[in-house]
Chain A
Amino acid sequence: DAGVTQSPTHLIKTRGQQVTLRCSPKSGHDTVSWYQQALGQGPQFIFQYYEEEERQRGNFPDRFSGHQFPNYSSELNVNALLLGDSALYLCATLRSRLAGSSYNEQFFGPGTRLTVL
């Protein structure tokens, strides 16, 4: 049973560029959340996708957008990159409450390390 996978592992971009990060959920999971983790900080919630729709959003600008596909995988897009966007981007997946009793347990992927120069 594959866990949560993310790609790429590392990415280097320059200011103003755009980036797309990808996440495949753990088998049986249908809900995907994205988090940003700056060095020395805890992860911060960006947004969550369920049934291909954004369900809730954290305090992030519109430069951050996402998508969920019918197979539950997800993408995070960041436009007009800033130096401050450098961070570890984490994807977390879970089984929605409608699908089972363990809906509260979230499983994280290994993350994508984004460096903006």
Chain B
Amino acid sequence: SQKIEQNSEALNIQEGKTATLTCNYTNYSPAYLQWYRQDPGRGPVFLLLIRENEKEKRKERLKVTFDTTLKQSLFHITASQPADSATYLCALATYGGATNKLIFGTGTLLAVQP
């Protein structure tokens, strides 16, 4: 069956450390993968997109990697801050049909302690 899995437990880290979040998928062939941030009661906010032929993307303190062999994406926040505390969602889009249909994981709650 098709699955997208993210760390089910909350991730607690100290301010200044690097947070690494994992997204694994099964039985999908994604055209690209996106990471979103979601605060309680709010809509997801787009962070980064990485295509199937890209290995790594960076934006300021954020970095995402995409390994289609391992069927895994890693999302890193360097020099983390308490303001980075939120739920982070990965979403993939597949070829065919409405290619912008996103399939989301359940999200990982990140808590950055001061």
The reply on A109 being an interface residue by CB < 8 A is: yes
Instruction: Enumerate chain B residues within 8 angstroms of A55, measured Cβ to Cβ.
Output: 97-98
- B42 contacts A48, CB within 8 Å? no
- Interface residue tally of chain B, by bracket? 20 to 34
Q: Does residue A44 face the partner (Cβ distance < 8 Å to B)?
A: yes
User: How far apart sit A41 and B103, CA to CA, in the bound complex (Å)?
Assistant: 12
Chain A-chain B contacts (Cβ-Cβ < 8 Å), number: 69
Residue total for A at the interface (Cβ-Cβ under 8 A): 31
Mind listing 11 A-B residue pairs with CB under 8 Å? A42-B89, A42-B104, A43-B44, A43-B104, A45-B102, A48-B101, A50-B98, A105-B46, A107-B46, A110-B43, A113-B41
Residues of B within 8 A of A (CB): 4, 32, 34, 36, 41-46, 49, 89, 91, 93, 97-107
What is A's interface to B at a CB cutoff of 8 Å? Answer: 4, 6, 31, 33, 35, 40-45, 48, 50, 55-56, 58, 88, 90, 92, 94, 97, 103-111, 113
